[in-house]
Amino acid sequence: MMFFSTVVSTFALAIAAVSAAPAPTSPNVGSPVSLIVVSPEISSPTAGQVWPINSTQTVTWDASKLPKESANMTGMLLLGYEQDGVSSEHLDITHPLATQFPLSAGHVNVTVPNKPAGDNYIVVLFGDSGNTSPKFTIQ
């Protein structure tokens, strides 16, 4: 759980860094090794898509832009939801939708968990940073 919390808290930092490139996000300050941040863009679910509880859904992302150094990296997919005026994505860290799948595959199938119906759900795909999907519906 330590690991997951660390990943999630680094998420905000990594996003902040993207707008201010080149960014010294590496903890190895002074090291000549540059940190690659892998967070492929999610192409499905799309905004407003409907996920019935218990159905199987395919989450897809653009694997073509992944750096070759990430060839063997595995991903983690978390479910969350957004609320107006709240910056938290309410990620369900204790029940990942999927873990240990190859990022290079560009997709992973998940079973939609039993959650209260809502149209403000998101998924976040983690490599070593995270990328958030548009909002979709669970019903």
Ligand X SMILES: *[C@@H]1O[C@H](CO)[C@@H](O)[C@H](O)[C@H]1NC(C)=O
Residue 88 CB, nearest approach to ligand X (Å): 26
CA dist 42 and 19 (Å) reads 19
Calculate the CA 111 to chain-centre distance: 16
What six digits make up the tokens of 16?
């902040």
Work out which of 1, 9, 27, 69 binds ligand X, going by CB under 6 A.
69
Looking only at residues 4 through 43 of this chain, which bind ligand X when binding is defined by CB under 6 A? Answer: none
Residue 119 CB, nearest approach to ligand X (Å): 17
18-26, 29-37, 68-76, 122-130 -> range binding ligand X (CB under 6 A): 68-76
DSSP 23-92: ----SSTT-SPPPP---PPEEESPTT-EE-TT-EEEEEE-GGGS-GGGTT-EEEEEEEE-BTTB------
What six digits make up the tokens of 100?
């240990």
User: Binding of ligand X at residue 99 (CB under 6 A)?
Assistant: no
User: Binding of ligand X at residue 54 (CB under 6 A)?
Assistant: yes
Residues in a beta bridge with 2:
none
Contact 115, 84 (CB under 8 A): no
Work out which of 5, 26, 28, 109 binds ligand X, going by CB under 6 A.
109
User: Binding of ligand X at residue 64 (CB under 6 A)?
Assistant: no
Residue 58 CB, nearest approach to ligand X (Å): 5
4-12, 41-49, 50-58, 92-100 -> range binding ligand X (CB under 6 A): 50-58
Task: Report the interface residues with ligand X, using CB under 6 A.
Answer: 53-54, 56, 58, 69, 71-72, 109, 114
